[in-house]
Each structure stands twice: as C-alpha cells, then as structure tokens.
Chains A and B, each alone.
Chain A
Amino acid sequence: MLNNIQLLIDFPVFNLQLLLDGLMIGAIFALAAYGLALVWGVMNVKNLAQGEFVIMGGYIAYYLSIDAVVRIGIPGTDITFFEVMKPGVNPLWALPVVIPIMFGFGWLMYFLIIRYVIDRDLFTSLLATFGAAIVIQQVLNLIFGPDVQTAESGLGTRILFGSVTIQEIRVLSLIIAGILAALVVLFMKNSRMGQAIRATAQDPRAARVMGIDTDRVYAFTFSLNAAICGAAGVLISMIWVIQPFYGIAHSIRSFVIVVAAGLGNLPGVIVTAFGLGALEQYGGFALGAEFQQAVVVGLLIVVLVVRQIMQARHRQVVR
C-alpha cells in the first residue's frame, strides 16, 4: 500500500489518470444517485432496485448493439408468427430507446408495487423494492444468461502527456450525463409537472388540497428515476461490464452519495458523486481493486458517524 502511494508521489502524472477516470465515472454515478434522491425526497421510498434499473438499461443497450434474431411466437414451441434478423447498432443509439422503455417500466412498477407501499413504514418499502430487485436480476439472468456482457461504442482513446489515457466514450458520457442532468433540473424548475413534484415533496397534503393529483406525481417521479437510471446503464455498459447480479454495487453507490450529500441537496449529490468516483479510483490504486468498492462502504460509515456526532452536539445546544 505504501509502495503504491509512493508511486503516486514519484509519478504525479498518474494522479491525473486516476482523477480523470474517477470524475468521468462519477458523472454516471451522479445520474443514478440523483434519481434516488428524487424518489427518496419526494416519495420517501428508498428504492433498493436502483442498481437493477441501471443494469436493465445496460442490457437493452447491449441487446440493441448485437445482431439478434427477433422471434415472436409461443415460447417453448416452434410456432412462430414473425421472425426478423435485427442488425446491431451503435449502443449510443440505445439512449433514446432506453429512456422511454425504462420510463414505461417505472410507471408499471409504480402501479404494480410502489403504490401499495408508499405510505407504509420504511421497512415495507425496503422489502418491496428489494424483492423487485431480485425478480429483475433473475429475469435478466433467464433472458441473457449469467455471463458478463459489454456494449461497444467503437470510440477510441486519446493520450495526454504521453502516459495518461482518456477513453473518448468516457468524455462523451460525461457530456451526456451533464446534458441529462441539466434537462432534469430545468424540467423540475420550469414545467408544471416539475412544480407539482416540488410541491408534493414539500407537503403532500397541501399539494392535494391545491388540486395536485399526487398519485400521478408519484408515478411520474418514480418513472423519471427509472429512465435516468436506464440512461446511466447505457453509459455503464459501454465503459464497464454488465452482469445480471451487478446491480447491487450501483444501488450501494447511489445510497452512499445521497446519504453523504444530504437529501434535497442537488449540487451536493453531484459533487459527492464526482468525489466518490475519484475516491474509488484512489482506493483501488492504493489498496488493490478488491477494496475499490469497500472504500464506498467505508465512506458511508464515516459519514454516518460524523452526522451522528454533529446531531448529538446539536441536541446538546438545544437542551
């Protein structure tokens, strides 16, 4: 470990590599974390299927990127009504496809599950979304199999200062994530639905009195979250690898970011996501790839302890 840190001091250029890699992947973490902050803040539902939404988006991108035979018929039989060869396209084109599909999926999941747990206690919503996460994992496993998959953007790599590599897809992802985040912020500020969402978040009862259909607001919020996660998944599938059971890592990251930033603190979510991305890279470098994700959980513990101390101090003052 000390050797590795010494290495960073001796060759400062590698700091740049880790920082850039971390910031660019952090932008994608920010997307999923922002979706979670939205659902958590507006609906008070802690969605444990967050990572599964990301992976679903990734698998749709992967599926679009490969040549496949699309067959519509009766499963388990040879009866086929319709069969066509689907050529693979660049997975970047999956973005406009994934966003509506995942939005629809979120809507469906809201009306099938979330609607019934939204005003129950914390434990019920955790259990329900955890169950949904397991179902999504297993369905993905049945459809795509347990092997890891990747989607290829076909973009190249640039070299800076002779030894820092920047994958163009990561830069593009940073830009796309930025545009998506800006769109969502603008939407929340300016559109009627955005205003309704913010009103519901402040006080659902008052919002209902004002004539806001809060059920619809909740459904929209949850679907928006699923769509954002799906978009993050498309980017992830082109940068990392996806596998049906990899969702949990993304769920944990989203939780850590939202908890560390504090609810309702959008700039905080973005800064924390960038920070977490960079921290993961440094953790992986200094301690080995095995501890890359352990750093995330470690950060969560630190944040919780610090908050606890701060809150305790606050109470003393009040007393």
Chain B
Amino acid sequence: MAISIGRYTRRGALTIMGVATAALLAAPAAQAKVEGDTIILGSAISLTGKYSTNGIHAQNGYELAVKRINDMGGVKVGGKSYKLKVVYYDDESTPARGAQLAERLIKQDGVQYMLGPYSSGMTKAIAPVTEKYQIPMVEAEGASRSLFTQGYRYLFAVLSTSEQYLASSIALAAEIAEKNGKKPSDVKIAMAFENDPFSQDVRAGVMDDAKKYNMQIIIDDKLPRDLSDMSTTLTKVRAVKPDLLVVSGHSKGAATAARQLAEMKINVPMVAVTHCEAAKIVAKFGATTNDILCPTQWAETLSYSDEYFGTAAEYDALFKATFDGYKNVPYQAAQASAAVIVWKDAFERANSFDRDKVRDALAATDMMTFYGGIRFAPEGNNIAKPMVLRQIQNGTYNVVAPSKYASHPVNWPRKAPGS
C-alpha cells in the first residue's frame, strides 16, 4: 500500500510538474492558500522509506484532527466558516527530497501554511525553505534543540524539545527531597549519557535544571556509541550512592542499563532512563524493571483535555475507532493532531488569512489541548507542555510526574530488584 503511494507520487510528480510549468508560463501562480471555503495546509511527510511507520502515524494524526475540526463546523474567519484540507507529498524519508517538496508546495501549489514532516532531520531540511519564503510551519515531530537556535521566525513546534526529556526527573527528585525534609541542593545526581547529539541535548537539559536547584553531579559518564557494558559506571554508582541516576543512550542504553541494574542489584532511590518503550525493557527483563522512570511526550492517561477531542483518553478511543490496527496510540499521532488544532486556533484569533497576521497569531498561541498546554517561546518551541514521566509499576507504564497530571503516586525509594 505504502509502496504504491510512493510510486504514484513519483510518477504523478512529473505530470504535475509539467502542467505546473505550463501554468506558470501562462499566468502567475494561483494563490491557493484558500480555495473557495477551504483552507489548504501543505505537508511533505515520510510515507515510504525508513521513517514511514512514524510518518504514517503523523499523517493519521493530521487527518483525524482535520476531520474533527471540519465536523465541528470548521474554522471561522471573518464570520464565515472554512474547511481545512491538507495536501501531502511523500518525501521518501530523504531530507533533500523533503526540501524540494516543500519548495514545490510553496511555489507551485501556492500553499501558505505548512504542517511539519516526521523527524528532526527532515524538519531541519525543510525549515530553511519555509523560512526563505516566510511561510509559517507548525511542526509536531522534530524535537532537536538545534532547530530552535537558528533564529527561525516561522517555525513553531508543539512537542517538547530534547533537552526536556529528563529534566522533569530533576524536578521530581527536588519535590521528593523537600517532602522528606531535605533540601533539593542535597540531591546527588549520577549521569550516564551517550556521546551523540540527541543524548547530549538531554544532558544539557539535566545540567541546567540541576544547576537551578544547586544539586551536585557526582558522576558524569559518557557512553560509547557501541555500548554493551556499563558495569563500571554502575560500580561507581554503588560506591558513591547518588539519589538519582539518569541514563540516556537510545534503546541500547535502556537495555544495558535495565539489565545491569538488575544483575548488579544496584540500589538507587530514583532511576530515569529514556527509550524504555523502544527497548521493550518490560518484556525483556520483567519485574526487575519496576520503578524505573521513563519520559514520554504524551500518554493517553493524562488529564489534559480540550473542546475538540475531550480528554486524552477520549482522543485515544476516537483514534482507535477511526484507524484500524492500533493497539496503542503513538504519541507521534497525538502531537500531529495538536499541530492542526494550533492552526485552527491561530486562524480564528488572527481573523484573517494574511500570512503575517496568522504568523503573529501563532506566535501568541496560549492554549490547552488534549495533548497538553501549548505556548511558544520566541524561538518557536513549546514551553507550556512538560515531558511527563511514567514509572514502570508492575509491568505497566503509569504517569507519576508532573504531580499535577499524575495518575498514580510515584514509588519511592526504588528498591534493587530482589533485595
């Protein structure tokens, strides 16, 4: 199915390009931003190639939100109701193709409002194009911090950036310290981060927050790319007894940490690890993974809600009823839906289709959605939604922090498995 879409698009691309060239010669490009009573959004997204699984999740998220908003009466601008529609092109999971397609959406199809692609890498490829043409883009799938240090004016992201992944564990450690009559500055942190851009972003976030609380960092190990043993780091952990251990090294880091924490019976009251779900640590290591904290962008058990989808749980149910074959709703889909809601809200507040007015309305976004709060920093990243921490409790992931949205109390202190 996915392959046939790809073929169609590629073949179709040539035809459309031919027609478009002819049209360009005949007349200036039509301003296709609003056709009749329909607002056209554009997105180059990975429907084939290595990102296609998540690309399709994101597309489903976009489509669900578009359908929902249209069913609820559409977008009201200037006293008139408009429907939303998204034009997609398949970027084949290649950045160069993504940039080309963004250019085509803007220059030939006349799209004035963009939705993001899937992954930080693709967003990095497309953002310079949208920026050049001053086309606002709301993206939902690029978390890299480096996207928001370029001074982009037209890029807005609804998801939490990578440096926030484990920062909430610092806040939680501070909270627990205070509850136990200790000072947050007494908290000792052990860190083990892979030496790659993503994990170092995560580390930077932890460092910032630790500094804020004046916590002491007593271990700061870098993990290698081909990590298969972190027993030396854990031996150090046993020697210096930190209050919090944070680990980030993609799924290999999660698997190695989960296995060796159990084997070496390491007693740390709080352990937070990224990529628990991707590494399937619960299935692999069973009960020994209990009480490990894992960050996530969104979970269906959160108490967020909005007027479009209701609560996170209602979104979850609607999504499963709309699309076949989903046992769990991936957060990639939820954040894509949130991006569409942000567009709707911005159009209505701008009460205009003027690109710059809409851009300013986007910049002033301050709203609550089923996916979490959305308010953009001047750099374009969302600062209203925290990463949530889930704790593995008897084999299931339960939200435990931030406490405002927690569905279960946090188990603290974590006991070494079997001790």
Contacts and interface: CB of A to CB of B under 8 A. Distances in A.
Interface stretch (B54-62, B204-212, B236-244, B384-392): B236-244
A11 to B, nearest CB: 6
B255 interface: yes
A150 interface: yes
B345 to A, nearest CB: 38
Interface string B208-234: 000000000000111110111111110
B284 A150 contact: yes
A147 B252 CA distance: 7
Contacts of A17: 235
Interface in A1-53: 4, 7, 11, 14, 17-18, 21, 25
Contact of A243 (B195, B220, B226, B238): B226
A288 B227 CA distance: 12
A289 B192 contact: yes
B9 interface: no
A275 to B, nearest CB: 16
A143 interface: no
A246 interface: yes
B238 A163 contact: yes
Contact of A289 (B233, B238, B239): B233
B224 A148 contact: no
A7 B263 contact: no
A148 B251 contact: yes
Nearest to A241: B228
B265 A4 contact: no
A256 B284 CA distance: 33
A292 B224 contact: yes
A25 B263 CA distance: 15
A25 B227 CA distance: 15
A203 to B, nearest CB: 40
A138 interface: no
Contacts of B228: 148, 240-243, 246, 249
Nearest to B220: A288
Contact of B226 (A21, A165, A245, A281): A245
A17 B239 CA distance: 11
B195 A292 contact: no
A214 interface: no
Given A7-B240, A159-B265, A243-B252, A285 B232 contact: yes
A241 B226 CA distance: 10
A148 B280 CA distance: 10
B418 to A, nearest CB: 8
Contacts of B221: 288-290
Nearest to B194: A290
Nearest to B264: A165
A152 interface: yes
A18 B264 CA distance: 12
B404 to A, nearest CB: 34
A147 B227 CA distance: 12
B355 interface: no
Interface in A224-276: 240-243, 245-246, 248-249
A148 B279 contact: yes
B407 interface: no
Across the A-B interface, the 5 shortest Cβ-Cβ residue pairs: A284-B232, A290-B222, A240-B228, A148-B252, A285-B232
Interface of B: 192, 195, 220-224, 226-233, 235-236, 238-240, 251-252, 255-256, 259, 263-265, 278-279, 284-285, 418
Given A288-B221, A289-B221, 7 more contacts: A7-B236, A7-B240, A18-B235, A240-B229, A242-B228, A289-B192, A289-B223
